Structure 1
Amino acid sequence: MPTRAFRMNLNPGMAAEYRRRHAQIWPELAQALRDAGVLDYRIFLDESTHALFAVLTHTDKHGLDALPGTALMQRWWQYMQDIMPSHPDNSPVSVDLEPMFSLTPD
């Protein structure tokens, strides 16, 4: 299954708020991610740098590229833009990470 990894940043002092918002992720957003083919989505925080590292596994056929254009995703980005660096369209500033190593089951 394809995996994507990317890095975002969190504004200093916003870790608890970020965790709270994701603990209460909107059910319709969670469903939209699943409907788009997301199988597993994890986000990790490096507290010393405020860097967020996301790892997302999805189906071969997916609808992830269409999500940014949905009103739902636009609302989520607007909701999150006050606690993390964002672009003018409220999308989070993110950088794709290049795979360097993978240990897979035999």
Structure 2
Amino acid sequence: MLTLIGAVYTARTSKAAAVTSAEATRVVAAVQVAPAQRSEDLKVLQATVSRVDEENGALRGRVSRVESILRAFAWTTDRWAQQMYRAGIEPEPVHPLVDEYNRTGV
């Protein structure tokens, strides 16, 4: 009987030790993978930031060009309106957004 109790105790202890060992192995593996995963995450983040910076630069260039065209167009239409006034022709009233732009420059 004592042998049977010893065998059961040994089996339970071995099973608990195996579970604990497996858990420890899993934790060690997770700890070892974490720096590599962080490194990969950082690479993805850096690539994303680089792409967004590049897109931002392109958009800034386009916005700058549109603003330049808008200023040139406003200047041209103002000249035409002045020519019409001098010729005694009353031009149509400007759109409210154009009037706001002429007043604020925005």
TM category, shorter? under 0.3
Alignment TM-score, normalising by the size of structure 2: 0.22
The structure with the largest helix share of the pair is 2
Larger Rg: 2
- The structure, 1 or 2, with the larger RCO (C-alpha pairs under 8 Å, 6+ apart) is 1
Alignment TM-score, normalising by the size of structure 1: 0.22
